[in-house]
Amino acid sequence: MTIDAFIAALPKVELHVHLVGSASVGTVLELSRRHPGSEVPTDEEELRRFYTFRDFPHFAQVYGAVNALVREPEDVATLVLGLARDLAPQGARYAELQVTPYAHHVVGMPMREVTEALDVAARRSLDEHGVEMAYIFDIPGEYGEEAAQVTLEHALREPPAALVGFGIGGIEQDRVKYRDAYRSAFSAARAAGLHSVPHGGEMSGPETIWEVIEGYGAERIGHGITCLSDPRLVAHLRDTQLPLDVCPTSNLRTGQIARMEDHPLPRMLQEGLYVTLNSDDPPMFATTLAEEYRVAAEVFGLARADLARLAANGVRASYLPEPRKQSLLAEIDALLATGT
């Protein structure tokens, strides 16, 4: 079995992917043509150039422009189903999709209609593509108290059936001034039974990782790649085995690393940290979940057993029911036994 065949056959879960960022070029073109007059190109070649990012703030600006195309519940469902269609041929069985309710709120979409679209899309994703969808509601971190309140209210009052987590993304440096509002929102979400899965340590230092651990009760952290500059934090992450959802190509495309060879993932594994492998915003970064595994093999030199371990890490760190986890883990073990 070739390495590409092994990666394609490897049962995977996607734990860090964003609703809008998951939109393929074809889906974005469909939306931009459905809603003309935006700053998002309606020509494919121009759209691909539009996805060339100077740095993280520029990425956030482009992401916001694409996000503004999502104006109706039908658009939300189109994005979810597009992701399921794209994940299925990659061997992905389950995804925890990060949704930003505040973005739908500001364009006037009622909570109930957004939730209905997410529910319908989750059912169709499983029925039509064999990909089980769960949702994480995330606060856009640069928008402050109102965004936190809207996100929490939607999560508590009108949650989709598959809502499992509560998160926060966006520009990390902007969170400091809203610290109390964000801590309060996470406390209320956790009290309601939602898992805490914030971003931290993507574009800022270890202090943001400590904040999401101590202030948000993080059960899993998006990115966490700057942890290595703080030995005490590395020791804490190793001792607690707090999962870090790592997205190598994302970090390259947004300028957090200069070269893929510089990515800290190999050292994170050497330090004994709990790492899962994910795609973040795959079409925007010209990647896929399967491609992230290929990068791990070709650039970082990981063997098939290492790739299988990363896939198993994702399954264990997911919020799937335990019987489903055990079934997927057994499939991974069986593939490793026959495919090496």
State what percent of residues in the chain have pLDDT above 90: 81
Assign 64 a pLDDT band (cuts: 50, 70, 90): confident
Domain ranges, ordered by start, for the chain: 13-289
pLDDT per position as a tens digit, 168-220: 998 899 999 999 999 999 999 999 999 999 999 999 999 999 999 999 999 99
Segment 40-57 mean pLDDT: 84
The residues annotated as belonging to the active site are 202
Segment 23-45 mean pLDDT: 86
- Rounded Cα distance between 136 and 133, Å, is 10
Q: Which CATH class, in words, describes the domain spanning 13-289?
A: alpha beta
Of 211, 301, 285, which Cα lies nearest the Cα of 247? Answer: 285
The pLDDT of residue 340: 65
Assign 266 a pLDDT band (cuts: 50, 70, 90): very high
- Rounded Cα distance between 95 and 81, Å, is 12
Q: Quick count: other Cβ atoms within 10 Å of Cβ 62?
A: 19
pLDDT per position as a tens digit, 296-306: 999 999 999 99
Q: Quick count: other Cβ atoms within 10 Å of Cβ 306?
A: 16
Report the number of secondary-structure helices (H) and strands (E) in the chain: 16, 9
The answer, yes or no, to whether residue 38 has pLDDT greater than 90, is no
The answer, yes or no, to whether residue 159 has pLDDT greater than 90, is yes
